[in-house]
A and B are shown apart, each in its own frame.
Chain A
């Protein structure tokens, strides 16, 4: 049996006007006696910003919290509103989140001294692996895992999306390469008379090829810069849209200098390759044939 706060707390939240007198504790789970000082009249909980917006909650608001639908539950006060983490694994999950004291939640759910998990810190001098091994050696009904292993497991969703994006990117690069080759081939062939004239004037094949390749490279770089501009504007739109859809600070699209450099170099390589192929096909043809004579 585990505790899932967001899921187990029913949507039985009854708003009381902010500043209203606290509920009398009728039906509330008993507060722990605090010797030497007064116990707080109401327990405090923290709610996520999405929930606060949707229910019009703010620090000081009083709500009722119940582990079972239809049961009055406890009166609690909103003590804080917290921002959700930009976690890709949670981005599509729509449930609300609250944070409360573990003892309070156990009381709400009628659980006796149970928790989902412990976070255990070890001194720098102790090997994490050996600590995990020792805990698991004596464990009964629970299991220790390294935080790094848990992180790897919980980021699987993100890694799948990353692989998918790479695959789509590969298809797009292939499409771009073919498109570029087609265009260069045609644009170079369209100027076959000019090239023939150059060749007949004594300009060497190499010079002609270099000129065409240089032109192709220039077109590729200019295209990359324009593409990066479009990409940057697109990323702003994508982020604005999806951050609003999922109500998360997570960045969905990001144009970094590394990505720009990769795109430009890929484009440059494709341009040079396509330019070379197109130019070479033309300079191999005798100039008079190019002129149609």
Chain B
């Protein structure tokens, strides 16, 4: 069994190739036959700051969508829909380009602490 490898995750994230497969089982020449299957690889845990959408302020100009390096702003029918937190790396560009300050950046640690505190209260 191939040891755990961060580049690969647990091997459950792709149907086609798993890390324990032998040379006869994996795809030929390193070809990848599932276009865009990188979206099954999560980069959200790189994030230290988290963008949070302020629905009331948003004017759906989609400048944030245009400038996201990780295609992590989901636009539906030409409107801001949601953040893809599985892939958002927390670069903060969206909050900076937003003309109406409808995106706030919060520390992930701080948010975790708040969540924890809330859970303790309950």
Q: Do the two chains bind?
A: no
**Which residues of B does A touch, CB under 8 Å?**
none
